[in-house]
Structure 1
Amino acid sequence: MEAPICIRPAILADVGIISRIIEHSIRFGCALDHRNDPPLVSGWTRQHCADVISARLADPHFYLSIALLADKPVGVGMARVSGDIVFCYVQPQSFRRGVGRALMSDLEGWLRVRGALHAHLNSTRTGEAFYRHLGYHESEPSLAHQGLQVLPMYKPLPLPG
């Protein structure tokens, strides 16, 4: 039987592991998007360095959560009170185990409580099928963003009841 997935808010002590999960997920899980182009990988991972993560943890407009599988950190997600899902990264060895779905549910719940009517995100090609499976729809044509092709997507969020 699979160990349960636990989602909890991230804390300052998690910054190092969050940065490592993101870097590992980008390097090994998103090769379709960055095509192993070193400057592109470096630019993408630099956006999620420890200093940036620390600043987001201190900002009340952002929410970061961490997913644990058998008490081991395997995924991270971030939302902004404006309704944006900033990111959802899962260790590649934990793909297809419900970690991403659990993180997204947590992020969407946080947004709903804050009154967001829709969640918005920019999906890479790697994540597009996953987000569609969760009910996200294309909101505009794909566009280039920091060297990557991204697809703006949205999902209506039901009001908390």
Structure 2
Amino acid sequence: MSFEIRRAEANDATAACEVLRRSITECCVLDHKNDPAILAAWLGNKTPETVASWFASPTNFALVATEQGAVVGVALLTAAGKLALCYLLPEARLRGAGKALLACVEAQACSWGVKALQLHSTASGEAFFAQQGYLRAGNVRSPYGVETVFFWKQLDGSICDASKPKRFCGCS
């Protein structure tokens, strides 16, 4: 792997925002169908200032995946156990960065005592989360007009066993 997973910092907000915007625009076409109204609503809060505020919140745990110093992925976990963000640049997909981000998020959730993670996936990300052991629990319409898939995953056993090294996670 040629990428590193680390805690997001305030100065990562602009690059992370670009990851979010490109991933949504380019990788989630199945979801937004290039509808300008849906895209405008979905991207409306994806600004560097908003992303910086998400990173700064003491109730959030934000990570970035970097490759050769450039941010190629971003993930955000809330203290309530919700995976609020997990996005990659299109060119970073299918190379392990998503799995690495998810492994670090799960490890953090375990350290907080969270028993299960939940998320709302796009149709574009549905197969990825299912492959990582997340269970589909129905559909939910997002505020921006996209049908999302509600997933959850019980965190127990080997996921939260601190004595076992995490295959991808170098985020401690």
Match of 2:131 among 125, 130, 133: 133
Greater mean alpha carbon deviation, residues 108-117 or residues 47-56:
47-56
Paired AA for residue 140 in structure 2 = L
Find the counterpart in structure 1 of residue 155 from structure 2: 157
Verify the 8 A CA contact 1:113 1:160 in the aligned structure 2. no
State how many pairs are aligned: 158
Verify the 8 A CA contact 1:80 1:86 in the aligned structure 2. yes
Secondary structure of the residue aligned to 1:56 is helix
CA distance, structure 2, for counterparts of residue 144 and residue 57 of structure 1 = 26
Secondary structure of the residue aligned to 1:48 is coil
Gaps of 5+ in 2: 163-172
Report how far residue 160 of structure 1 moved. 4.0
Find the counterpart in structure 2 of residue 25 from structure 1: 23
Match of 1:49 among 38, 47, 50: 47
Paired AA for residue 53 in structure 2 = A
Paired AA for residue 101 in structure 2 = L
**What aligned pairs does 1:79-94 form with structure 2 within 5 A after superposition?**
79-94=77-92
CA distance, structure 2, for counterparts of residue 42 and residue 114 of structure 1 = 35
Match of 1:144 among 141, 145, 166: 141
Secondary structure of the residue aligned to 1:142 is strand
Report how far residue 64 of structure 1 moved. 0.9
Report how far residue 110 of structure 1 moved. 1.0
- TM-score by length of structure 1 reads 0.93
CA distance, structure 1, for counterparts of residue 108 and residue 40 of structure 2 = 30
Identity %: 27
CA distance, structure 1, for counterparts of residue 42 and residue 119 of structure 2 = 16
Instruction: State the superposition RMSD in angstroms.
Output: 1.2
Report how far residue 51 of structure 1 moved. 2.2
Report how far residue 53 of structure 1 moved. 1.3
Verify the 8 A CA contact 1:5 1:102 in the aligned structure 2. no
CA distance, structure 1, for counterparts of residue 39 and residue 133 of structure 2 = 28
Gaps of 5+ in 1: none
CA distance, structure 2, for counterparts of residue 8 and residue 70 of structure 1 = 13
Paired AA for residue 36 in structure 1 = N
Paired AA for residue 34 in structure 2 = N
CA distance, structure 1, for counterparts of residue 80 and residue 126 of structure 2 = 21
Secondary structure of the residue aligned to 2:141 is strand
- After superposing on structure 2, the runs of 4+ consecutive aligned residues of structure 1 that deviate more than 4 Å are none
